[in-house]
Amino acid sequence: MSRYETAPYKVLIKEDNFELRQYDAYYTAAVEDTSLNGSNGFSIVFDYISGNNEEQKKISMTTPVFNEMGKDKVSTEFVMPSAFSGDTLPEPGNKKIRIKKNDTRLAASVTFSGTISESKIRDYEKKLLEWIAKKGMDPVGNFYLARYNPPFIPPFLRRNEVLIDIIQDNRS
């Protein structure tokens, strides 16, 4: 079990390393980055939670660290502790950071361990899309990478996920 607060969700379906989740709303501190390589985006947001904000307030580390993987850009996002709302989070000292509200949503995920590589991520995206199709669900938006462990954890013990939002069916 993690000693860190985690983005709030409920598992609706679980099969092997695949899940359909209902996420509650939460906030992130997000910065755009150019790639998953390096730690530039991570360092910028870590600086924010370490006190580089208008209140010079330290904010607890949470899990996971999300990376939204768009076609031309990547974001690095830290989930903010549930004690904060959009109104109570301190203004970032770095103007590259934006506070983002993530609304309640459905998401499909696949969990894997080890190190991260572009080819591994693409392989898990493909597996996740196949599982989603078998379930008759429709994905929407970009894929996300979720990382739950600090870099000093041995790769075989790391928890990583690839996620994508699912269109919610409002029919009764």
Residue 131 lies in a domain: yes
Residue 11 lies in a domain: yes
In tens, the pLDDT along 3-58 reads: 789 999 999 999 999 999 999 999 999 999 877 776 778 999 999 999 999 999 99
Query: CA 35, 100, 171, 17 torsion: positive or negative?
Result: positive
Residue 141 lies in a domain: yes
Please give the residue range of the domain that contains residue 126: 5-166
Q: State how many domains the chain has.
A: 1
Residue 67 lies in a domain: yes
* Confidence category of residue 2, pLDDT binned at 50, 70, 90: low
Q: Is the pLDDT of residue 164 over 60?
A: yes
In tens, the pLDDT along 53-101 reads: 999 999 999 999 999 998 888 999 999 999 998 899 999 999 999 999 9
Q: Is the pLDDT of residue 170 over 60?
A: no
CA nearest neighbour of 96 among 149, 5, 34: 34
Residue 171 lies in a domain: no
Q: Considering the entire predicted model, what is its pTM?
A: 0.91
What is residue 107's predicted lDDT score, i.e. its pLDDT? 98
Q: C-alpha 117: how far from its chain's center? A: 17
What is residue 171's predicted lDDT score, i.e. its pLDDT? 44
Q: How far apart are the first and last CA of the chain?
A: 37
| CATH code of the domain containing 134 | 3.20.80.10
Residue 172 lies in a domain: no
Query: CA 134, 137, 143, 149 torsion: positive or negative?
Result: negative
